[in-house]
Amino acid sequence: MKMEDLKAKLLDLLESDIEFRYAVAGKLGILELLKRLDAIESLQAKILDEIKSLRENQEKLWRNQEKLWQNQNKLWEEVKNLREGQERLWENQERLWRGQEKLWEEVKELRKTQNITATTLHRLTITIEEESLDVIKHRLKSELGLDIALNRIFIDDREIDIYGATHDICIIGEATVRLGLGLIDELEEKIDFIKRRRPELLRPKLIKVIYTDYAIPSALEEAKRRKIWVLKWSGDLTPMTIIEQ
């Protein structure tokens, strides 16, 4: 049978045979459904692929996020360590400040003590100088009949505790709380210094004198050898000697 005849026959049957028409319609609907199902299945497969890809990406994101959390935890540990280190530094600095304050307090106390000591020594030195001038002046007048004005003098910033002169005699000396060998050498050096710089202050006769509260034995022996008169308020420690120059 030719295709044209078959088509004509089928069309005739569709128009005249209701059951045939329903049967064909049913077949056509199933095919359409199958096509749609195939399309849906294909689309579902694509969706599943997308979901799989999304899950893989999500897993990557979770892994990355986990790494970020780990790194963040490390950062927090570092920050914590830095803060602890900073706190230790502040504690050490605070201890240093407290130590420094204590040192300053010690220094202040030492300075205060030093000032008190210096003031005491200064007063004591002034007292013994004034005492020496009075005692020696009295002794010279009572024993030698010499009324000599005694004073402290300065020559080129060099201090001489005791100096006085009249007619052909002068007296040069030092006043000290404690006499040692060093002051004997210092007195001799000052006398030589006067001879060089102010010879007009000297006289043909000289009395070398040291006034003290206490003298060590070796210093007294040396003073006696050099003809230095050593005395204190209660009396002579070495004899008074007038030296012819």
- Model confidence pLDDT, tens digit, residues 115-142: 676 556 655 555 888 999 999 999 999 9
Task: For residue 197, give the CATH number of its domain.
Answer: 3.40.1350
Distance CA 123, CA 96 (A): 39
| Number of domains comprising the chain | 1
Asked whether residue 214 is domain-assigned, the answer is yes
* Per-residue buried b or exposed e for 8-17, using 16+ beta carbons within 10 Å of the residue's own CB: eeeeeeeeee
* Tens-digit pLDDT profile for residues 41-90: 788 888 888 888 888 888 888 888 888 888 888 888 888 888 888 888 88
Would 114 be classed as within a structural domain? no
Q: What is the pLDDT of residues 5-19, one digit of tens each?
A: 777 776 777 677 777
202, part of any domain: yes
- Pairwise pLDDT comparison (106 vs 119), residue with the higher score: 106
Per-residue pLDDT at 73: 85
Q: What share of the chain is helix, strand, coil (3-state, %, to 5)?
A: 70, 20, 10
Is 46 inside any structural domain? no
The reply to whether 168 falls in a domain is: yes
131 occurs within a structural domain:
no
| pTM of the shown model | 0.52
Please report whether residue 52 resides in a domain. Answer: no
Q: What are phi and psi of 170, to 5 degrees?
A: -135, 160
Model confidence at 168: pLDDT above 70 = yes
Q: Note whether 155 and 124 are within 8 A (CB).
A: no
Instruction: Provide the residue range defining the domain that includes 220.
Output: 148-244
